[in-house]
């Protein structure tokens, strides 16, 4: 067994200073800290919302998810099968339903568009044509 030599006072002081602020050591745990961690998906159901209410809620959700570091937003819009827009001649059949109007609204807002990578119909397991999957940029 090799006996370690005692450090002199200068080396001990230098070591203690280094331990207080080890700037050249990479902190692998910092990558996984809560403030840097990106949450996977935020899910919200828009059933029953009017177009105006849905658009303002979507704006609020996107800005909040961007701030809270989410990767994706799943918006459940429904397919518009029970919509009463067919009876109103002044409302577009397609743009009167949330599944068409919400993506159009998002694309018309520059602040929202700058935070988004893509807007797609969700996978079948997530709601298919009745849901929208929004992928957010990693800012």
Compute the distance between CA of residue 105 and CA of residue 95 in angstroms, rounded to an integer.
Answer: 10
pLDDT of 58: 94
Residue 64 neighbours by CB distance under 10 Å: 12
Contact 131, 122 (CB under 8 A): yes
Compute the distance between CA of residue 72 and CA of residue 83 in angstroms, rounded to an integer.
Answer: 27
Q: How confident is the model at residue 92 (pLDDT cuts 50, 70, 90)?
A: very low
- Give, in degrees to the nearest 5, the angle at Cα 58 between 135 and 132: 45
Whether the pTM exceeds 0.85: the reply is no
- 9-46 per-position pLDDT tens digit: 888 888 787 777 766 666 666 655 555 566 889 999 99
Contact 76, 46 (CB under 8 A): yes
- 44-75 per-position pLDDT tens digit: 999 888 888 999 999 999 999 999 889 999 99
What architecture does CATH give domain 39-136? 2-Layer Sandwich (3.30)
Compute the distance between CA of residue 52 and CA of residue 79 in angstroms, rounded to an integer.
Answer: 18
Compute the distance between CA of residue 55 and CA of residue 96 in angstroms, rounded to an integer.
Answer: 12
Q: 119 CB contacts (<8 Å, ≥6 apart)?
A: 103, 106, 107, 132, 133, 134, 135
């Amino acid at each position: 067994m090799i006996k370690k030599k005692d450090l002199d006072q200068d080396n001990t002081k230098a070591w203690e200073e280094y331990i207080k602020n080890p700037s050249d050591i990479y902190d692998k745990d910092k990558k996984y800290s809560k403030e840097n961690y990106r949450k996977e998906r935020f899910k919200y159901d828009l059933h029953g919302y009017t177009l105006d209410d849905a658009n303002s809620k979507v704006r609020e959700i996107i800005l909040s998810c961007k701030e809270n570091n989410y990767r994706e937003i799943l918006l459940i819009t429904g397919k518009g099968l029970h919509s009463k827009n067919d009876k109103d001649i002044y409302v577009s059949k397609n743009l009167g339903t949330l599944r068409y109007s919400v993506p159009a609204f998002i694309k018309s807002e520059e602040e929202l568009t700058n935070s988004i990578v893509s807007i797609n119909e969700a996978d079948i397991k997530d709601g298919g044509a009745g849901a929208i999957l929004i992928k957010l940029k990693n800012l």
